[in-house]
Structure 1
Amino acid sequence: MEKCTQTARGPVEVEVVGTGIPVLVLHGSPGGIDGARAMTQFLDKDVFCCIHLSRPGYCKTPLDPIAPSIDAEADLLAALLDTLGFPRVCVLAWSGGGPPAYRLAVRHPSRISAMVIIAAISSSWVASKPHLSERIMFGTSIGEWLIKYMATHNPEHLVEEALKGEGSLRGKKLHAVIQHILAHPAQVKLIADTARTINIGGERKAGWQNDVKNYADIKTLELECVSCPVLLVHGDADSDVLPVYSQYAQARLPNSELIMMARGTHVSFYAHQEAEVVQERARQRFREYD
């Protein structure tokens, strides 16, 4: 079970699951330890040791009271690795987990052996203003209940709405992807599990608001200074974090590879016709650089 662990830089809600190659897991914005847990469903816990955590301001991990910056988060992650006794790890980051992953690699390069960065922010990002329906669905306890209900009783509708909201696919292209996902229970489960973690209110509100502010203010993440190998994965129909963010990163990272998934939404690494193939590429990257 997860617990709050005290580090030299403050407490972190964290759990360590599995044995083998250590993988530090950085969820998106919003999210939490439950989102990190969902992200590693494709990793065999007999091969990979997954370090799930809530990023600052999410769930039980508090914000830095003095300067809740991206760099402060990176230093907190390094302190967590010290406390847990991991001298070196791989990193798996999705979406809003990208900026702290990059800054960790810049500020503490000896701690990172390889990174897999999924549909992630790599430069200044301004959150779109949510519609009233989105504020109700993702910012209230009623919306949180509705998502949990759909995840249990109507996953087909949840899959359709998730792909519409996270990508630009429509019509026959959207229908084809939905039908594929519905035929693969693991992909349906990933969308359902992730949907439960994206409420921007309650115990996730502080983290969400901090990310929105910090990411809009990004001048540079110093991607040119990241020395470890990076596998970038993005869907070309992602409307949440546009594909240009991974293209921008790939052009600046010294040792990187970009996989652009055709007809892929923001969740394509986990829910897509080629998801299993790309996931195996990610596992192989972690095994290569352990």
Structure 2
Amino acid sequence: MGLLRGLFLIAGLLIVGGLIVTVMALRDTHQRVVALEAVHAFAKTRHGQIEYQRWGIGEPVLVIHGAGGGFDQGRLLVEAMGLEGYNWISVSRFGYLGSAMPENPSTAAQAEAFMDLLDELGIERVSILAMSGGVPPALKFAELFPNNIDHMVLLSPAPFTPFSPDIEDRPIPTWVYSALLENDFIYWCLTKLARSRLEEAFDARRDLRTGLSTSEQVFIHKLIDTFLPASRRAKGVGNEVVAVDPNATYNLEAIRAPVLVIHARDDRLNLFEVSEDIASRVENSQLLPLDTGGHLLLGHHEELSTKIDGFLNNGG
């Protein structure tokens, strides 16, 4: 009887503990949703609604987030780089957070949705700051709407046709990234129990985190938390493959806007060769290669802030 009573006690404690953890995960996820809904806005486009956040005063800059993001990740990127003095429009791409997932979610359709958003906001010309998976639709925008773009800054560009999405030395297999964002509870647990592994997964590996400034350490911490609610980003993550669809061709030679491409050679998520290809095919472009920094360009945010600000102001 004593053994049975002990087993029941252990089972009870496990159940109670599980309930407490579940409640905490639900609470934190709900708080994230409430915070997002307090600042977002929507616009109608030919491809469904697009979600965005707008802030700041100055020349307009469209911010296009990477895989797993949303308009909130775009704002985090701007803040991490310490960029000020612009009117920022940070969007959620197709399938992320509150943005629609149309029947044809191609990068060309995404570029058209961006243009519709700008039309609704009364913005004729815009510069672009795009990160990783946000680069292919940014390139398509510059190709399709050459008269509506001033400057374009591309950070750690993701592969697009004819590149392959597969990279041999990724921290974790590609399919795991999608799995991480399918369940809010599982992702929340990982942020509490395996945070360092998540940092490695997003290429904020230990050797790159050594000696970082306080602001960059805060950026990494916020980035991990920004993926909640994970489930509201899963459709968008699943749509990242459209960038490498053989039918999605990119006429980079048609782009006339000044383009600044920044990429670290030791990026373990996206090939450095993608940036070299962009710089070789876009006539008015410059490539800023970094020997270290990984996908998130760690250790360089302060110097990049000055470089990006100067480029957006005068293209140099």
How would you bin the TM-score normalised by the shorter chain? 0.7 to 0.9
- From 193, 210, 219, give the equivalent of 1:179: 210
1:106: which partner in 2?
Answer: 143
State the alpha-carbon separation in 2 of the partners of residues 188 and 218 from structure 1. Answer: 40
Moved more, 69-78 or 136-145: 136-145
2:305: which partner in 1?
Answer: 279
What amino acid does structure 2 have at the position aligned with 1:119?
S
State the alpha-carbon separation in 2 of the partners of residues 218 and 255 from structure 1. Answer: 26
Q: Tell me the CA shift for residue 264 of structure 1.
A: 2.0
Please tell me whether Structure 1 or Structure 2 has the larger radius of gyration of its CA atoms.
Answer: 2
Equivalent position SS for 1:40: helix
Q: Tell me the CA shift for residue 135 of structure 1.
A: 6.1
The change in CA–CA distance for 1:194 and 1:168 in structure 2 (over 3 A counts) is: closer
The change in CA–CA distance for 1:257 and 1:133 in structure 2 (over 3 A counts) is: closer
Q: Tell me the CA shift for residue 218 of structure 1.
A: 5.7
Alignment map for 1:1-290 (pairs within 5 Å): 1-41=39-79, 42-45=81-84, 47-65=85-103, 67-124=104-161, 125-126=164-165, 130=173, 137-146=180-189, 148-149=191-192, 158=196, 162=199, 164-167=200-203, 175=207, 177-181=208-212, 184-198=213-227, 202-217=231-246, 220-268=249-297, 271-272=298-299, 274-289=300-315
Q: Tell me the CA shift for residue 161 of structure 1.
A: 5.1
TM (norm. structure 1) is: 0.84
Structure 2's unaligned 5+ residue stretches are 1-38
State the alpha-carbon separation in 1 of the partners of residues 202 and 293 from structure 2. Answer: 9
Cα deviation code 1:143-164 (max 9, x no counterpart): 32135547xxx9xx64x752x4
Equivalent position SS for 2:75: helix
The change in CA–CA distance for 1:209 and 1:137 in structure 2 (over 3 A counts) is: closer
State the alpha-carbon separation in 1 of the partners of residues 203 and 83 from structure 2. Answer: 29
Moved more, 205-214 or 96-105: 205-214
State the alpha-carbon separation in 1 of the partners of residues 247 and 73 from structure 2. Answer: 24
TM (norm. structure 2) is: 0.77
Q: Tell me the CA shift for residue 37 of structure 1.
A: 1.2
State the alpha-carbon separation in 2 of the partners of residues 56 and 48 from structure 1. Answer: 25
Cα deviation code 1:116-138 (max 9, x no counterpart): 00011253332568388766644
What amino acid does structure 2 have at the position aligned with 1:120?
P
The change in CA–CA distance for 1:168 and 1:82 in structure 2 (over 3 A counts) is: closer
The change in CA–CA distance for 1:260 and 1:80 in structure 2 (over 3 A counts) is: same
The change in CA–CA distance for 1:216 and 1:143 in structure 2 (over 3 A counts) is: farther
C-alpha contact (below 8 Å) 1:24/1:52 kept by paired residues: yes
State the alpha-carbon separation in 2 of the partners of residues 19 and 243 from structure 1. Answer: 34
The change in CA–CA distance for 1:127 and 1:31 in structure 2 (over 3 A counts) is: farther
Q: Report the identity percentage.
A: 25
State the alpha-carbon separation in 1 of the partners of residues 160 and 180 from structure 2. Answer: 28
The change in CA–CA distance for 1:191 and 1:30 in structure 2 (over 3 A counts) is: same
What amino acid does structure 2 have at the position aligned with 1:281?
K
What amino acid does structure 2 have at the position aligned with 1:130?
P
